[in-house]
């Protein structure tokens, strides 16, 4: 070490600055890293593998509580109608009524509409993120067994041959939000109730735009 450098370091020490302070200056390599943007996205959409929520949780108060409502429809009783913009899922009962559930829906860029059928049902389903999701979020697990800590929740209704499902969630506080990657989520108590009412083969109509 040359004399000039020794003199400079000695001056820093006498001024109360050690080498540790020197490397902690703004822009230094040892600055605290921020979470990658992809991880921040996962925290925002509310899919937290390992978070535990019980099957008994239902939405019991407020606008997203399960309730019987007036509902005009020409669809046969038992048909499921999803109004994404309103954050509601309806099971048509006939006589101008429907059983309504509060739901979470796809965030901006992940909304869709159409008509499908319930192709399969599962209790405490396993979670296999589809390739499209893994491409966006490669750090997600490739497989997670069903259970209270699974983001798929207590039940799942699979929609036709698509990658989308109506399923539970281990984060019931996300009901009423546009937060998913295209699936429709209900609180675990509500998806369990819906699961018992809706058989395989049920028609499901997804409407994205708000009704008049």
Q: Looking at the domain assignment, is residue 2 inside a domain?
A: no
pLDDT digits (tens, 9 = 90+) for 52-90: 554 557 888 899 999 999 999 999 999 999 999 999 999
Lowest mean pLDDT among 8-22, 98-112, 141-155: 8-22
CATH number for the domain including 89? 2.40.440.10
Q: Does 212 map to a domain? A: no
**15 belongs to a structural domain:** no
The answer to whether position 14 is within a domain reads no
Q: SS3 for 25?
A: coil
**Domain annotation covers residue 21:** no
Q: Are 138 and 114 in contact (CB under 8 A)?
A: no
Given a cut of 90, whether residue 101 has pLDDT beyond it is yes
d(CA 146, CA 167): 12
φ/ψ of 103, rounded to 5, equals -135, 165
Active-site hit among 157, 166, 183, 198: 183
The average confidence (pLDDT) of the chain is 78
Confirm whether 41 is a catalytic residue. no
Catalytic (active site) residue 83: no
Angle at 59 between CA 81 and CA 120, to 5 degrees: 45
Kindly state whether residue 98 falls inside one of the protein's structural domains.
Answer: yes
The count of domains in the chain is 1
The residue ranking higher by pLDDT, 65 or 136, is: 65
Q: In this structure, how many other beta carbons lie within 10 angstroms of the beta carbon of residue 129?
A: 21
| Parallel, antiparallel or unpaired: strands 114-123 and 203-207 | antiparallel
One of 45, 167, 187, 192 is an active-site residue; which one?
A: 167
Q: Is residue 20 part of a domain?
A: no
Q: Domain for residue 19, yes or no?
A: no
The predicted model scores a pTM of 0.72
Rounded Cα distance, 128 and 89, in Å: 24
Percent share of the chain, pLDDT over 70: 72
Find the domain containing 201 and state its range. Answer: 37-207
């Amino acid at each position: 070490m040359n004399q000039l450098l020794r003199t400079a370091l000695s001056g820093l020490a006498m001024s109360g600055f050690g080498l540790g302070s020197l490397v902690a200056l703004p822009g230094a390599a040892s600055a605290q890293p921020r979470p990658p943007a992809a991880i921040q996205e996962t925290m925002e959409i509310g899919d937290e593998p390992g978070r535990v929520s019980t099957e008994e949780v239902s939405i019991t108060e407020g606008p997203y509580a399960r309730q019987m409502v007036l509902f005009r429809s020409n669809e046969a009783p038992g048909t499921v109608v999803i109004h994404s913009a309103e954050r509601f899922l309806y099971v048509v009962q006939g006589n101008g009524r429907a059983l309504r559930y509060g739901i979470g829906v796809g965030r901006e860029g992940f909304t869709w509409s159409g008509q499908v059928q319930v192709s399969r049902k599962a209790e405490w389903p396993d979670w296999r993120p589809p390739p499209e999701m893994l491409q966006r979020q490669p750090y997600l697990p490739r497989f997670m067994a069903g259970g209270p800590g699974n983001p798929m929740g207590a039940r799942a209704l699979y929609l036709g041959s698509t990658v989308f499902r109506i399923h539970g969630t281990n984060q019931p506080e996300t009901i009423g939000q546009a937060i998913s990657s295209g699936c429709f989520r209900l609180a675990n108590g509500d998806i369990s109730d819906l699961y018992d009412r809706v058989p395989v083969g049920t028609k499901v109509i997804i409407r994205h735009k708000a009704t008049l």
